[in-house]
Structure 1
Amino acid sequence: MFQSKKNIIAGRNPVTEALKSGQTIDKVLLFKNASGDAIIEIKQLAREQNVPVQYVPQEKLNSLTNVQHQGVVAFKSSVVYQDLQQVIDWVNSQGEVPLFVMLDGVTDVRNIGAIARSAVCCGAQALVIPDKGVGALNEEAMKSSAGALEKILICRVNSLLKALDTLHLNGIKVFTSEMKATKRLHQLNWSEPACVVMGNEEKGVQPYMTKAADEHFTIPMKGGFDSFNVSVATGIILYEAMRQRTAE
């Protein structure tokens, strides 16, 4: 996956200082056999800040930078992550009805960028993403979003299921699309506080996430093709939500 060299921090001390200074970090890569007090501190700081840590072979780190990395490389994020509860509180304080998008296993950064663009165009206030198993919000994602990733609030959580609990506790309903659902997209009430969960194109939304959702729906289609691209499907869903909200 493409990463700009200017977004890379290499070396134990630089990565430690970046984490301590509050820089927003997408993820930390550690040589799988790395050890020492500095490594322990980096892992602790990453855990406290909800930054994913991935263990990789030396060759992977060598391919990313010419700098002496000492078994540690971090990627600076192009966005600033927000706390989900604080975002909910802020949206409510603005007198707006929450409309969020949660990404479950969406790894293609071009899809993520396109989803963010549709979200901003249709009035969604936030993207909710997991700390692992999602495409990095790097320069390619920013380019695909046409700048939308800088205009939407982004919440990174360590558990999507716990995030669903937070949404439910705040009166936000959770919707997922299913090919076999009996309700159609337009039959749901999108004028109420809502979050739609969009899944991986191959596997869809994880079963335990589907089970925890309040409503399931299908997007009507003609022709014998399997399904819409995830970013196209998200755009259709969010447009319907905007249509219902503006019609009122």
Structure 2
Amino acid sequence: MLLVGRAAILQALSEGQAIDRIYLQKNAPAALQQELRQATAKTTVPLNYVPVEKLNGFNVGDHGGCVALRSRVQYQDLQEVISWVVDKGEAPLFLILDGVTDIRNIGGIARTAWSMGVHALIIPDKGVGALNEDAILTSAGALEEIPVCRVGSLMKAVDELRLNGIRVLASEMEAKAPIFDVNFREPVAIVMGGEERGINSALLKICDEQFRIPMPSGFESLNVSVATGMILYEAMKQRVTS
């Protein structure tokens, strides 16, 4: 669902409604830009500056320089989700998506994650595909079930996870350790990189451990959704047989 114009967007923000992202015209009046920046400053709602043609493409009439996409996904606070999992007496299992932009992959990942017992998805507020109707359809509704934590910085999210005793593991095809040597029974967060560039080098550097999926054929790449499914199955297998 679209929110059209300044008044509708500001009202939605003030009411704490779930918003996927706001599109703001690049040359919008300075007052409007400042107002929206201030309104989103304490949220994780992305503010995307776009040409007017992008806004006109929504075919919504007089948009006044801004259009927002309302989200069916209710974003949750990372620390609150961590506390919720720990209070249940379970070892946290989180999935971090870095630069995954294909909504079909996101939907497929969410579907698998929900099935394999992942407690939450962690995504950045920018550089990730929109969790729109198509993503929700691809996920078979899983995106409306599994907690999704949208954060301003994945680097800071890693720090927060570590402070809570959660190790951060990265799937990297050039890593030395095979997936079978990884302990998924302990509290962990698994980082999966995007379809093109993989995991950001700075983020990869601060991960506690890197692992790979052995491929006897020597093939060097797997679709991120497929790779995630293989990793999560190994994690689930370890946890149910421990």
Is the pair's TM-score, using the shorter chain for normalization, greater than 0.5? yes
1:157 and 2:151 correspond: yes
Does the alignment pair 1:143 with 2:137? yes
Q: How many angstroms apart in 2 are the aligned matches of 1:131 and 1:221?
A: 33
Match of residue 112 from structure 1 = 106
The one of 59, 71, 94 aligned to 1:77: 71
Give the deviation of 1:178 after TM superposition.
1.7
Residue 66 (structure 1) aligns with: 60
| Residue 47 of structure 2 corresponds to residue 50 of structure 1 | no
Q: Which residue is 1:128 aligned to? A: 122
The match for 1:19 is 13
C-alpha contact 2:173 2:220 (8 A) present in aligned 1: no
Runs of 5+ in structure 1 lacking a partner?
A: 1-6
SS in 2 for 1:82: coil
Aligned residue number for residue 191 of structure 2:
197
Query: C-alpha distance in 1, partners of 2:79/2:10?
Result: 28
For 1:87 and 1:65, how far apart are their aligned partners in 2? 38
**Map of 2:2 onto structure 1:** 8
The answer on whether the counterparts of 2:71 and 2:132 sit within 8 Å (CA) in structure 1 is yes
Superposition deviation, residue 39 in structure 1: 3.7
Distance 2:213 2:130 in 1: 28
Distance in 2, matches of 1:45 and 1:177, equals 36
Secondary structure, aligned partner of 2:106:
helix
| 1:156-209 CA distance string (max 9 Å, x none) | 000000000000000101111222211100101000000000001221101111
Superposition TM-score, scaled by structure 2 size: 0.97
Counterpart code for 2:36: I
| Correspondence list, 1:78-97, <5 A | 78-97=72-91
Structure 2: which 5+ runs fail to align? Answer: none
Aligned equivalent of 1:214: 208
Deviates more, 1:10-19 or 1:229-238: 10-19
What is the aligned-residue RMSD (CA, Å)? 1.1
Q: Structure 1: which amino acid aligns with 2:113? A: A
Q: 1:184·1:217 contact (CA, 8 Å) conserved in 2?
A: yes
Q: Aligned AA for 1:145?
A: S
Q: Measure the CA separation in 2 of the matches of 1:217 and 1:224.
A: 16
Q: Aligned partners of 1:141, 1:82: CA distance in 2, in Å? A: 18
User: Which one is further off, 52-61 or 158-167?
Assistant: 52-61
Given the two structures, how large is their TM-score scaled by the length of structure 1? 0.95
Cα distance in 1, alignment partners of residues 21 and 83 from structure 2: 27
CA separation in 1, counterparts of 2:39 and 2:181? 46
- What is the alpha-carbon distance in structure 2 between the residues aligned to residue 207 and residue 198 of structure 1? 12
**DSSP 3-state at the match of 2:8:** helix
Question: Structure 1 residue 51: deviation in Å?
Answer: 1.0
Equivalent pairs, count: 242
Provide the rounded CA distance (Å) in 2 between the counterparts of 1:107 and 1:197.
15
Amino acid at match of 1:226: E
- Aligned mates of 1:66, 1:210 — CA distance in 2: 42
Contact 2:4 2:60 in 1 (8 A): no
Structure 1 residue 36: Cα displacement: 4.9
My pick for the range that moved more, 190-199 or 52-61, is 52-61
Q: Distance in 2 between matches of 1:202 and 1:232?
A: 15
Q: Matched residues in 2 for 1:181 and 1:129: separation?
A: 23
* 2:124 counterpart letter in structure 1: P
Partner of 1:4: none
